Amino acid sequence: MEQMTTRCVISGGGPAGLMAGFLLARAGVEVVVLEKHRDFLRDFRGDTIHPSTLRIMEALGLLDELLALPHYPFRHMEFSFGDRAVPVVDFTPLGERTGFVAMMPQWDFLDFVAQKAADYPGFTLLMRTESEALIEENGRVTGLRAKGPAGPVEIRADLVLVADGRDSALRDTAGLDVQDLGAPIDVLWFRVSRTSGENPESLGRLKDGSIVIQLNRGNYWQMAFIVPKNGAERVRAEGLAAFRRRVGAATGIEAARLEEIDDWDKVKLLSVQVNRLQRWWRDGLLCIGDAAHAMSPVGGVGINLAVQDAVAAANILAAPLRNGTLSVDHLQQVQKRRLWPARVTQRFQVFLQDRVIRPALDKPDAPPPLPLRILARVPYLRRFPARFIGLGLRPELPRAGEVAPGDAC
């Protein structure tokens, strides 16, 4: 079995894990990130780089380089209820350089962060390496066991950072209690090609009992069709033709283009979960991102929170990791800092799920809820949801780095 020793081993190369790995390496901490897939190419994940993340990239001096990658800047969001358009979010007051959500395939963003991290000698990324079990000694987590392309690996570390998402096996084996906050909806994801004459803004559409979100991905729409919890089977039983008709009725996309959805294999089910760990840490282990608090796709803020957790974790943990003085107090501090934003954001998601989305599925003819009607009438107010969605609560910025790219660790 291959043996490694490092300061911090991170399970999961998603937004939380890669960003934490990058920032820790930049702060002079030796870090190993494990990602079970061979690449970051996975479809139907969040593709939203929020103003808060843009500000982090700006603080790191990487914003222009990031935005040189193909992306679509999404500055406004509107919902349509039947045939009535209701504009609700305006990101532009958040600044010229960062007042938009950059719609960018998540794999491009993760490739970018991984590339930048690789400039630091303390950073190691092991792809096709799946963490499987914790190593514990006297009640303390001291590392993990993983399976890599060349066989089993054992990695000892002062800290195991668990950032492997909502289905994290490590958080289960760590015995941390999960509080389920409930999700009355599931989402069917699929894509439909986009024509040049269409409104490029991302839209939410509620019509005839269907809710469809359309996200502009350049030459195609990434579409989310919301169904009641466990309602996907019923939609499937009605058949593909009926599904295409419902999508067409809600979006106005013509039938010929919807013929692209010719197999249920092209329609992926996301079982929505909203949950949170009661305690995010144990001696030697800390969970961040979806592993600590699985977010609903409502509002598209999961990546935002995952990246913010990573920045807070790196800010708080870099010095004690570097000096070998890490204690549970430091882990507790990370939870204390990030719990409030996660809790309030989840409450907001659960509120929207229960009070806006679920009633709209049950009562298709209901008018837009009052808060949305007010936002539609008073453009000035649209900056407030933009702030909440775009920056989140308690936005984080990275501390100055300790090493320059290419320096010896």
Rg over CA atoms, the chain: 22
By CB under 6 A, name the one of 8, 16, 155, 314 that touches ligand FAD.
16
**CB 211, min distance to ligand FAD, A:** 15
165 is a site residue for ligand FAD (CB under 6 A): yes
Q: Considering only the stretches 42-50, 55-63, 66-74, 92-100, report the one whose residues sit in contact with ligand FAD under the rule CB under 6 A.
A: 42-50
**CB 374, min distance to ligand FAD, A:** 25
User: Total number of residues binding ligand FAD (CB under 6 A)?
Assistant: 35
Q: Considering only the stretches 74-82, 164-172, 277-285, 313-321, report the one whose residues sit in contact with ligand FAD under the rule CB under 6 A.
A: 164-172
105 is a site residue for ligand FAD (CB under 6 A): no
Q: Considering only the stretches 39-47, 52-60, 341-349, 350-358, report the one whose residues sit in contact with ligand FAD under the rule CB under 6 A.
A: 39-47
Site for ligand FAD, residues 106 to 145, rule: CB under 6 A: 130-131
**CB 228, min distance to ligand FAD, A:** 17
Cβ proximity to ligand FAD, 301 vs 322, nearer residue: 301
368 is a site residue for ligand FAD (CB under 6 A): no
**CB 25, min distance to ligand FAD, A:** 17
**CB 101, min distance to ligand FAD, A:** 9
Site for ligand FAD, residues 272 to 301, rule: CB under 6 A: 289-291, 295, 297, 300-301
Interface residues toward ligand FAD, by CB under 6 A: 11-17, 34-37, 44-48, 130-131, 163-165, 169, 189, 270, 289-291, 295, 297, 300-304, 306
